[in-house]
Amino acid sequence: MKSDSEFTNFLITSGRIIKMAVISFWRNRWLSLATTLIIILTLLIISVFTFLALIVNRTATSMREKVDLVVYLKENDSEDQISALSDLIGSRPEVKKIIFISKEEALNRWRARYAGDQNLQNIVNENDNPLPRSLEVKTKNPEDIEKVADFLQSEDYAPLINKLSYQQNKDMIDRLVRITSFVKKIGVGLSILFMIISILVVYNAIKLTIIARSDELEIMRLVGATDAYVRLPFVLEGVIFGVTAAIIGMIVIFVAYHFLTPVFIRYLVDIGYDVGVFMRSSLYQVVSVQFLVALLLGIFCSFWATRQHLRK
């Protein structure tokens, strides 16, 4: 029975606190609007840069993961010779991974690659398979490719090898790495700057409400309101700022996502991963981070402001 009435009490008090917060938010609607807009701006800046950093980073990683060096083998190499060569390459410190591609595997890949083109598919088959066996080598660092290639071109191994094939990815990757770090730096800098601005704006908005209502607050304390009862409406107001901003920010992000994804997909073709899928999974990450940032910002500022002004 007692806990029942305590629960009713809790509900009634919570209701009164929420009502006070909403009334205060609405009473100062222009201030609330400005505050919310600043938070939205901050969120969007953080989101856009997070997004950019994620995508450039993902592209760089994907380029690194591409096979660096392919060693095509001669038709008459024996299994023993191939396995010895494979072990030899694998034992080099620069090499991260080495995979043997058999004739069957090569055929499968060919078929998968030209799945849409019957003519090309028909050029090779099980009985007449001109595709060579190969060793795919991945190095730890892109700049090591040439070392491994030089080593394989020496007289000792040349008889076994039909052809070496390697792409000059290094420059491209380097550039992407530089872009990533640049985007990160600018993003972190701008995010911090706007975080500070929003914190100050939210802090001031709440401070102004507190000052405007200082009579009421004094009376509340005198008639025996608990600290929480005095404070929670302001904290809640901060939360309303944050959540409103997060929701609007989220809508903006979703709309931007809808229009920008096709553009990204068009420009970022053939970089080894599905841009659309990656954008979609990043979208949820970005939106959740955004929501969390907005909420924490609101709570932190209102706690800070009420702490300073509701002492005693």
Partner 1 sequence: MIEFQHVTKKYGKGIIAVDDVSFKIAKGEFVALVGPSGAGKSTLIKMLIREEEPTSGRILVADRDIFQLREKELPFYRRKVGVIFQDFKLLAKKTVYENVAFALEVAGVLPGIIKKRVGEMLTLVGLEQRTNALSEELSGGEKQRVSIARALVHEPKLLIADEPTGNLDPVNSWEIIELLFKINKNGTIVLLATHNKEIVDAIHKRVVSMKEGKIVDDRENGKYIL
Min separation Cβ 241 and partner 1, Å: 24
C-alpha to C-alpha distance for 32 and 240, rounded to whole angstroms: 9
Q: Which of residues 6-25 bind partner 1 (CB under 8 A)?
A: 8-10, 12-13, 16
- Report yes or no: 284 and 78 within 8 Å, Cβ to Cβ: no
Please list, in sequence order, all residues whose beta carbon lies within 8 angstroms of the beta carbon of residue 153, skipping any fewer than 6 positions away: 164
Min separation Cβ 11 and partner 1, Å: 10
**Residue number with CB closer to partner 1 (16 or 185):** 16
Query: Per DSSP, what are the bridge partners of residue 95?
Result: 139
Does residue number 311 form part of the binding site for partner 1 (CB under 8 A)? no
Does residue number 156 form part of the binding site for partner 1 (CB under 8 A)? no
Q: What are 208-212's contacts with CB under 8 Å, separation 24+? A: 208/28, 208/31, 209/24, 209/28, 209/31, 209/234, 209/237, 210/234, 210/305, 210/306, 210/309, 210/310, 211/309, 212/28
C-alpha to C-alpha distance for 39 and 201, rounded to whole angstroms: 9
Q: Which of residues 65-104 bind partner 1 (CB under 8 A)?
A: none
Does residue number 226 form part of the binding site for partner 1 (CB under 8 A)? yes
- Report yes or no: 203 and 303 within 8 Å, Cβ to Cβ: no
Min separation Cβ 9 and partner 1, Å: 5
Min separation Cβ 2 and partner 1, Å: 14
**Residue number with CB closer to partner 1 (23 or 296):** 23
Min separation Cβ 12 and partner 1, Å: 6
Give the contact letters, 204-223, x = binds to partner 1 (CB under 8 A), - = no. -----------xx-xxxxxx
Q: Which of residues 228-257 bind partner 1 (CB under 8 A)?
A: 229
Query: Which residues of this chain interact with partner 1, rule CB under 8 A?
Result: 8-10, 12-13, 16, 215-216, 218-227, 229, 312
